[in-house]
């Protein structure tokens, strides 16, 4: 009888947690209702039903051990204090899980996938993130606190009903005690089986995984079925999944080398990405060009005036875009700042659940831009006006060849303003960059990481509040316009400096902002501009490229015939197109189709990957292809042509997973670059 009471208690707790999971799925659906507005109600309902399977797994991952502790076949489990202790432990585990649920609910708008490995990197910027959340979501925080109080009140009511049933084992004869033990043991073994089967997701050949949630190419339906407890746990328990080999090693390497080859010679079979140009560069100019890279925080293409945004929040960038090499199909290699920085400065995409920055792979022999240019006599500088140590960028900058790092601590508080969350406003950081470049010996390479267009979107004064609150996402647009203002102010200062005419400027985003993007295409589409009015003619490049292409592009622009080991590809087909003695008054436009190579872009999106070529956009995971789209005319990715383009799909899948396989192998085995003896 007592055992039956514990079994009833277990069912009550399971029902309580099941209801909790259902509440968060319903909140998710309501918050992102616009994503499901055009879908049949039957599909929504089916996603909820499929979600029950993932909820059962998530509940058992979270609380299965506590259920089993309540069902152990021993007399002491009936004691009131034992049950109270087990429920106390469950309540302790439940609290961080509620934060995971809440974080997932709001994080989805930025990455359009359920929370996973990011939950383990939040401590890297805990103070900044805490301040940002408190400023951006004060009402939501208050409601969340009330929700937690309600949850724990309900749990306390369950605990308060536990009574101390006295054990009367002594009254049982030996036969009765043995029968009771057998029954309790049977219940326990049965419970172990239920917990195991629930976590595994059933009796199918492979354990439950995220891909089982995606019944079709409508990704948001799959996301609706998932829950963050399951997706976060998968990161912890997926074991050697990232070691998966998709093709024979030689075949995968050959495919990747063919993708990246631009008249280059691959020099070492054990280091498959190491290469240099086959042709000898003649008449290299005696004066090397400076390189300045602006990494603009959260500049998604859909928000940029040059891409047709009706509010035109970036007039300065739009003007520069008409004067430089403007990439119209350029993509981020990740969804967070550190992923963008490692791709831009070192041509390193995100292949694993953890980033290069902050992982053990920082020990690897890398071949980043800063190190390459220092070998060529460049001075190097990295400016990030955030708190020193923010996102680990200071340590990373030194690792990748930047001699000096300037952080918020290095600014004069009396002459600058801080946003109170991330760091010094862009206006002051960009002015400092100009001052530093003026003093540096040429050639130099400088990287400036902006902060002002990051949530909570603070402004230095109300004079920059250009957009009213009647405009969607007005806070972001105001911050974006301010950041663009700072960029324009920088160039107005820099044009009068001696270094300006001898400098190649690259303006590129780290990732999109994460508000209102309606497809995977929009969630990775970012601006990129190469601007050097004395050397590069105004032109549009409509071919596909990504952040990983910046490093080899810079080497080509500088005519450096040097060994590199990158995951990207320069857009140029011949040396004549790279640096020209260009008259800035000319209106010459280069025909991009005949002058530039076709490339591809790799988009990591958790357990789903995107692969873009000149004509198609493939979305796939390790188990199956999800969708194929003609993105140039279908940026919202609505028409799936997977069944119509089987040959193209399979060719793209081979390229995609060869790229993933080779990338993971060279980074895991430290085979990216072999230092060459001088």
What's the angle, vertex CA 313, arms to CA 309 and CA 317, rounded to 5? 95
Alpha helices, H only, 539-596: 550-557, 592-595
Q: Which residues of the chain have pLDDT under 70?
A: 1-5, 117-128, 159, 161-178, 238-243, 279-286, 357-360, 362, 574-596, 676-678
- Write out the E strands in 146-286: 264-266, 274-277
The pLDDT assigned to 378 comes to 97
- Give pLDDT tens digits for 272-298: 999 988 765 555 555 799 999 999 999
Domain limits, the chain: 2-237, 249-668
Helix (H, G, I), strand (E, B) or coil at 151: helix
Sorted by sequence, the CB contacts under 8 Å of residue 313 that are 6+ apart come out as: 303, 304, 305, 466, 467, 477, 480, 481, 484
d(C-alpha 63, C-alpha 77), whole Å = 17
pTM to 2 decimals? 0.82
Give the pair of three-digit tokens for residue 99. Answer: 């934060």
Give the pair of three-digit tokens for residue 603. Answer: 């988009």
Neighbouring-strand partners of residue 277? 264
Q: What are phi and psi of 628, to 5 degrees?
A: -130, 130
Neighbouring-strand partners of residue 326? 529, 540
The pLDDT assigned to 674 comes to 85
CB atoms within 10 A of CB 376: 13
> What kind of fold does domain 249-668 have according to CATH?
Alkaline Phosphatase, subunit A (3.40.720)
In the chain, count H helices and then E strands. 20, 15
Give the pair of three-digit tokens for residue 462. Answer: 């109300």
Pairing of strands 503-509, 290-296: parallel
The pLDDT assigned to 157 comes to 78
Q: What are phi and psi of 228, to 5 degrees?
A: -70, -25
The pLDDT assigned to 379 comes to 97
Residue 466 near residue 485, CB atoms below 8 Å: no
The pLDDT assigned to 607 comes to 82
d(C-alpha 363, C-alpha 487), whole Å = 35
d(C-alpha 451, C-alpha 391), whole Å = 12
- Give pLDDT tens digits for 565-607: 999 999 987 544 444 433 434 333 333 344 567 789 999 988 8
């Amino acid at each position: 009888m007592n055992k039956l009471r514990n079994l009833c208690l277990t069912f009550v707790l399971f029902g309580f947690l099941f209801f909790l999971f259902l509440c968060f799925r319903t909140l998710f659906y309501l918050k992102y209702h616009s994503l499901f507005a055009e879908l049949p109600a039957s599909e929504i309902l089916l996603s909820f039903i499929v979600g029950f399977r993932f909820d059962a797994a998530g509940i058992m991952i979270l609380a299965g051990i506590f259920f089993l502790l309540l069902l152990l076949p021993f007399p002491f489990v009936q004691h009131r204090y034992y049950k109270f202790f087990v429920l106390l432990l469950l309540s302790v585990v439940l609290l961080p899980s509620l934060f995971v649920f809440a974080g997932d609910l709001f994080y989805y708008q930025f990455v359009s996938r359920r929370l996973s490995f990011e939950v383990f990197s939040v401590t890297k910027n805990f103070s900044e993130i805490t301040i940002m959340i408190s400023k951006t979501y004060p009402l939501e925080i208050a409601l969340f606190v009330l929700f937690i109080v309600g949850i724990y009140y309900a749990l306390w009511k369950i605990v308060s009903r536990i009574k101390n049933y006295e054990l009367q084992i002594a009254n049982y004869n030996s036969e009765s005690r043995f029968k009771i033990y057998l029954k309790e043991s049977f219940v326990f073994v049965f419970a172990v089986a239920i917990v195991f089967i629930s976590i595994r997701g059933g009796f199918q050949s492979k354990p439950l995984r995220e891909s089982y949630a995606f019944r079709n190419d409508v990704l948001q339906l799959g996301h609706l079925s998932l829950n963050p407890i399951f997706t976060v746990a998968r990161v912890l328990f997926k074991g050697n999944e990232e070691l998966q080999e998709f093709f024979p090693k030689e075949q995968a390497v050959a495919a990747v080398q063919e993708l990246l080859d631009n008249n280059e010679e691959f020099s070492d079979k054990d280091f498959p990405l190491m290469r240099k140009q086959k042709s000898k560069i003649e008449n290299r100019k005696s004066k090397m060009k400076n390189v300045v890279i602006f990494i603009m925080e959260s500049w998604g293409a859909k928000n940029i005036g040059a891409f047709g945004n009706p509010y035109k929040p970036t007039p300065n960038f739009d003007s520069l875009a008409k004067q430089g090499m403007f990439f119209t199909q350029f993509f981020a290699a990740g969804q967070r700042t550190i992923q963008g920085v490692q791709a831009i400065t070192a041509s390193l995409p995100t292949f694993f659940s953890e980033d290069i920055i902050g992982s053990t792979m920082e020990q690897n022999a890398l071949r980043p831009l800063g190190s390459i240019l220092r070998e060529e006599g460049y001075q190097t500088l990295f400016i990030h006006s955030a708190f020193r140590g923010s996102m680990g960028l200071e340590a990373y900058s030194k690792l990748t060849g930047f001699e000096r790092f300037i952080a918020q601590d290095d600014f004069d508080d009396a002459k600058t303003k801080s946003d109170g969350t991330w760091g010094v406003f862009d206006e002051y950081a960009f002015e400092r960059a100009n001052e530093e470049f003026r003093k540096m010996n040429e050639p130099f390479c400088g990287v400036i990481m902006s902060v002002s267009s990051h949530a909570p979107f603070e402004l230095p004064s109300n004079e920059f509040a250009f957009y009213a609150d009647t405009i969607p996402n007005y806070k972001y647009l105001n911050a974006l316009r301010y950041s663009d203002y700072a960029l324009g102010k920088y160039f107005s200062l820099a044009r009068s400096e001696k270094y300006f005419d001898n400098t190649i400027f690259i303006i590129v985003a780290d990732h999109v902002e994460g508000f209102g993007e309606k497809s995977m295409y929009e969630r990775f589409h970012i601006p990129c501009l190469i601007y050097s009015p004395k050397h590069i003619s105004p032109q549009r490049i409509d071919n596909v490229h990504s952040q990983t292409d910046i490093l080899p592009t810079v080497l080509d622009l500088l005519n450096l015939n040097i060994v590199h080991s990158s995951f990207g590809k320069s857009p140029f087909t011949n040396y004549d197109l790279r640096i020209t003695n260009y008259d800035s008054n000319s209106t010459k436009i280069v025909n991009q189709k005949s002058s530039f190579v076709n490339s591809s872009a790799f988009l990591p999106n958790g357990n789903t990957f995107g692969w873009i070529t000149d004509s198609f956009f493939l979305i796939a995971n390790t188990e199956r292809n999800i969708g194929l789209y003609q993105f140039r005319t279908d940026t919202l990715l609505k028409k799936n042509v997977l069944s119509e383009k089987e040959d193209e799909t399979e060719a793209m899948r081979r390229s995609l997973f060869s790229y993933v396989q080779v990338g993971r192998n060279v980074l895991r085995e430290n085979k990216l670059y072999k230092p060459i003896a001088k």
